[in-house]
Each structure stands twice: as structure tokens, then as C-alpha cells.
Amino acid sequence: MAGPEMAGTGALVRLILRRDRIWLALWVVLIAAFVYGTVSTIGTLMPTVEARREYAVQIAANPAVLLIQGPAYDLSVGAIAAQQRAAATMIFAALGSVLFLVRHTRSDEQAGRRDLIGAAPVGRHAPLTAALAVVLVADALLAVLITAVLAGAGMPVAGSLAWGLIAACGGWVAAGMAAVGVQVTPGARPAGLGTLGLFFALYLLRGVSDVAAPWLGWAVPTGWLLRARPFAGERWWVFVLAAALAAVLVALAYRLAGRRDVGAGLLPERAGPIAAAGWLRTPLALAWRTQRATAVAWLVAAVLFGLALGFGGREAVEEFGGSTGLAAWAARMGSAADPAQVFYGLVIYVFGAYTVSLYTLLAVSRLWHEEAGGIAETVLAGPTGRLRWAVGHLLVALAVPAALLTVVGLLCGLGSGDVGGLLALTLPLLPAVWVLTGVTVAAYGLLGRAGAIAAWAVFGLVVALEFGWEIGLVTDEAFRLSPFAHVHYSALADPGPATAAALTVVAGVFTALGLTALGRRDIG
């Protein structure tokens, strides 16, 4: 594609680099440093083949690790390091690619910068092309840097390159998905969150395949990439598949871009009636209106996940129940009589504890965005008080996770034939999710926009405690600092009514603290 529609692409590339050169550099360098630190740590903690063999045996019988990280394909330091962190590297690359592409396409349109750019001799497809060019090259540079870092640490070049390509191709596929998303959705926020939600859903399906249904891994691009086997007989052709998928997605994005108006999506926002109903004239209605598209996108992802797990997971459950190693793991988790139930509990726990928590953090973060963008000042200039404004978004952040967990439980139950049993696995997770909601509200109320860092740090700590406990580096007592330790799928937890009530009280205390602090500090 060339001609007038691409005019000004070079100038926009330079503008993007000027705006985000520091962010891009940090993104690439920090991911590469993360990879280097992993290799160094593995070499220190497991210096011998015997130690790495013992670790490989442990994770092969631990579906939680397989679900999140995948299996080990070899006993070398590089292969074990790739097992632990190649998936995370791919996710970090995908996360940055999606956020970057949305920022320089639909976010610019919503902020009015696209209109300013359009006043210059710039073609219709130039903004999308410039954003894609920068993010694709950045992902390629990330692959080069990871290769150089690993090779410099003494790892084989072939395996180092394969690891780098896992990250790059993951970023390319995610960028292609985001490029399509920004053409379809009505705004930047649903485009970004919808794309990330879909990518994480695909990643979770990859995890299910590594636990008990290998065929499922070949149905999703995340499964292709994590079967590239760095340092264990590399499969180079999977990168061709991923690159081809990214190319198809980009081509589709250009085709869709020619069919929409600037500032609008192919799924446009519907025009409302001339006179709004009385119930719409509330802060809650405003909060739901601004978060509706994102919530619906997450609900659609939950429906797809629930259908896939409920109706497509029967084979996985049968294989899980027939595996002596996994049955022994289930016995250690406290459910030797029904390892299949433990399998469902594990998968649903990961979805409910971390994916749904991610949604609720993002939903509460809408308060930060409205304060930073001046929307909060506009709303608060009327008769609406700051607490009513904040509570509107809070109610959405509390209600949508309940809907997500209920949908997954119902659909998994319909597929497995045990609706009550599956709902009993999903719904106890809700109070723990609400605790993180309360912590996020407290961080916002006490620290304002700076509280976003604190909220994400707490989420990172919860994830780190989970990983550490799963591999034996964190004690039971330390893990109980996480709200999810009290609703865990293992025998560690007793998620009964008393536990649910206690977690709900904790969530309420944090929420009250945040709302009280919000009422006493300056906005903006």
C-alpha cells in the first residue's frame, strides 16, 4: 500500500519516537534485564543437572505451574530459564505492544490530536502505519537484545534467538489484534482492554493444553510460540505461523480502517434518546456508560472461556484423572478422591484470582483517568458529590467481577454436567477479588493519581506470593497475606461462609478508608 493514503508516515514515525523514546527504551531494556536476571538466578539456584532434574520432575506433576508457565523441555540452564520466564516475556511484549498501538491510534483520535495531524498533508492510513512500524521494529529490537543478552551470558545462540523471537512474535500478534480492535470498538479503552482480555484468554487456553489437552495448544498462537522449545531442539516454523497470523491481522486492520470514520469504530456508539430516563441521571449511570463497552468485552471473553473449558475440557479432565502423577499432586492439594474437580478448581482459580482481579483494578483506575483528564472536575462542578461519583465506578468494579465469575461457573457447569459444583468453585473467589478492589480504592483515596503505582505493586506482590508458594519458596504463613490464599483450590484454604464474610469485611474496611480519604483531599 502506497500513495496519498500513506503520506506523512515518516514524519509521524519521528513524532512518535520523540514522544515515547524513553518509554520504548525502558520497555525493551527492562524486559531484556528480566531475562538476564532469570538466567543468572537459575544458574545460581540450580547449578547441577540433578537439581534441575528434580525441579523438572516437580513441575511436571504440578498443574498450577504448567498452567501458568508451561513444561520444561530440557534440563539445561537455558531450557529451565525459558520454562520459567519465556511466557512472561511474551506477555510483557504483548502488553506493551497493545498499549502503545492503542495510544497512537484511537487515543490520539479521542484526544483530538488526530484532527490536528489531519490538518497537515497526512494520509488516512499514515497514523496506523507509523504506530505499527514503530511497535513492530521495537519488538524486533527486543528480540535482538534478548538474543545478545542470553548469548553474552553463555547461552547457545540458537536458543537465545528462539527466546527473543517468542517475545517479538508475541508482540507482533498482539499488535495485529490491537490494530483490528481499534477499528472495531467504539473507543480506545475498550480496544485496549478487549485486546488484552482476548490475549490473556488465549494464554489461559494454552495453559489448559499443557496440563492435559495438548491439541488445544496448537489452536492458539500463544500455544504455538511456547512450543518453540528454546535450548531444546528449536522449532523455527512456529515463528512463521505467528508472523503470518500477525500479517493477516494487519491486513484486516487496513481493510477495516477504510470503512470507518475517524474517531468512530465499526461498532459505533448508539445515539441515545433525546430525553434520558430518570435513572440515567446518576453517577452510577455515568460510570456504567463509560465502562459498558469494556465490561461487555470482558463478559464475551468470559463466555468464550467458560464454553471452551466446560465443553472442551472434558478430555482434559479425563486425562487429568487418569494420570497417576497428577492424581498424586491432587492428593497433596487435598482432594485425592476427585482429581478432576481439582483440575477445574485450578483453572477457575487462576481465572478468578488474577484475570478477574486485573479487570477490577482497571475498572477502579477509571477514577484516575477521569481525574487526570479533567472529567472529574466537570462532573463535580454540578450537584454531584465526589463520593457519589467515586461510588458509581466502585459499584461497577464490584458487580462486573461477580458477573464474570457467575458466567464462567454456569457455562463450565453446563459443559461438565455439574452446575452447582462449578459455581461453588467460582463464587467463593469473589470476596478475595473485592479485597483487591478495596485496596485499589484505598490507594486512590489516600495517594491520588500516585496511588496507581501502589495498587499495581500490591497486585504484583499477590502474584509473587502465589508463584513463590507454588514452587516452595514462600511459606504457608507468608502466602496467607494474600487474600487468595484463603480461597485457594488446595487444602490450604477453607472457603466457607466465615471466610467469605471475613474477606468481605476486609474489603469494606479498605474501601471505607479510601472513600474517607477521597472526601478530604483535593481533586486534581
Q: Output Rg (C-alpha) for the chain, integer angstroms.
A: 23
Same domain? For 343 and 472 the reply is yes
Same domain? For 240 and 356 the reply is no
What pLDDT, in 10s, does the model give residues 355-370? 888 889 888 888 877 7
Q: 473: which DSSP letter?
A: S
Greater pLDDT, 185 or 331: 185
Closest CA to 305 of 270, 348, 261: 348
Average pLDDT, the chain: 81
Let me know if residue 196 belongs to a domain: yes
Residue 463: the pLDDT is: 82
Residue where one domain finishes, among candidates 209, 225, 258 = 258
Find out whether 297 and 193 touch, Cβ atoms under 8 Å: yes
In whole angstroms, give the CA distance from residue 521 to residue 349.
37
Poorest-pLDDT segment among 77-81, 112-116, 291-295: 112-116
Greater pLDDT, 476 or 416: 476
pLDDT at 283 over 50: yes
Residue 266: the pLDDT is: 65
pLDDT at 379 over 80: no
Poorest-pLDDT segment among 20-34, 219-233, 370-384: 370-384
Across the range 376-399, mean pLDDT stands at: 81
Same domain? For 296 and 176 the reply is no
- Nine-digit cell string for 151: 548469548
In whole angstroms, give the CA distance from residue 378 to residue 340.
53
In whole angstroms, give the CA distance from residue 520 to residue 370.
18
Percent of all residues in the chain with a pLDDT value above 90, rounded to a whole number: 20
Residue 336: the pLDDT is: 46
Same domain? For 74 and 146 the reply is yes
Across the range 428-454, mean pLDDT stands at: 87
Percent of all residues in the chain with a pLDDT value above 70, rounded to a whole number: 85
Find out whether 256 and 183 touch, Cβ atoms under 8 Å: yes
Poorest-pLDDT segment among 251-255, 321-325, 405-409: 321-325
Same domain? For 163 and 43 the reply is yes
What pLDDT, in 10s, does the model give residues 315-353? 555 555 555 555 555 665 555 445 556 667 777 887 778
Same domain? For 234 and 378 the reply is no
Same domain? For 240 and 292 the reply is no
Residue 115: the pLDDT is: 62
Find out whether 184 and 198 touch, Cβ atoms under 8 Å: no
Residue 121: the pLDDT is: 72
Q: What CA–CA distances, in Å, run from 260 to 153, 183, 249?
A: 49, 7, 17
- Cβ neighbours, 10 Å, residue 444: 27
Separate counts of helices (H) and strands (E) for the chain:
25, 0
Residue 210: the pLDDT is: 78
In whole angstroms, give the CA distance from residue 226 to residue 246.
16
> What is the b/e burial string over 413-428, where b = at least 16 CB atoms within 10 angstroms of the residue's CB?
bebbebbebbbebbbb
**Confidence band of 408 (pLDDT split at 50, 70, 90):** confident
Greater pLDDT, 410 or 343: 410
What pLDDT, in 10s, does the model give residues 88-120? 899 999 989 998 898 888 887 776 676 676 666
Same domain? For 123 and 203 the reply is yes
Domain count, the chain: 2
Same domain? For 208 and 293 the reply is no
Model pTM score: 0.64
Exposed / middle / buried, residue 287 (Cβ in 10 Å: 0-12, 13-18, 19+): buried
pLDDT at 382 over 60: yes
What pLDDT, in 10s, does the model give residues 454-467? 888 888 888 888 87
Let me know if residue 278 belongs to a domain: no
Poorest-pLDDT segment among 6-10, 26-30, 48-52, 227-231: 6-10
Residue 495: the pLDDT is: 75
Mean pLDDT highest for which of 209-223, 286-300, 431-445, 462-476?
A: 431-445
In whole angstroms, give the CA distance from residue 478 to residue 470.
12
Let me know if residue 339 belongs to a domain: yes
Exposed / middle / buried, residue 1 (Cβ in 10 Å: 0-12, 13-18, 19+): exposed
User: What is the residue range of 323's domain?
Assistant: 283-520
Let me know if residue 48 belongs to a domain: yes
Tell me if residue 187 falls in helix, strand or coil: coil
Find out whether 193 and 182 touch, Cβ atoms under 8 Å: no
Residue 249: the pLDDT is: 94
Same domain? For 225 and 361 the reply is no
pLDDT at 82 over 50: yes
Let me know if residue 40 belongs to a domain: yes
Let me know if residue 2 belongs to a domain: no
pLDDT at 302 over 90: no
Same domain? For 24 and 153 the reply is yes
Closest CA to 170 of 89, 85, 90, 247: 90
Let me know if residue 273 belongs to a domain: no
Across the range 200-204, mean pLDDT stands at: 85
- Nine-digit cell string for 436: 483487591
Find out whether 163 and 82 touch, Cβ atoms under 8 Å: yes
Residue 337: the pLDDT is: 45
Site of grid cell 535482538? 144
Residue 304: the pLDDT is: 79
Let me know if residue 166 belongs to a domain: yes
**Confidence band of 163 (pLDDT split at 50, 70, 90):** very high
Helical spans, DSSP H, in 104-236: 106-111, 113-118, 126-152, 157-184, 188-211, 214-217, 221-225
Site of grid cell 458466567? 407
Closest CA to 101 of 29, 194, 204: 194
Same domain? For 295 and 246 the reply is no
Q: Give the DSSP H or E segment for 397.
A: helix 386-416
List Cβ neighbours of 135 (8 Å cut-off, separation of 6 or more): 97, 100, 101, 171, 175
Q: 270: which DSSP letter?
A: P
What pLDDT, in 10s, does the model give residues 467-507? 777 767 778 888 888 888 888 776 666 778 888 899 999 99
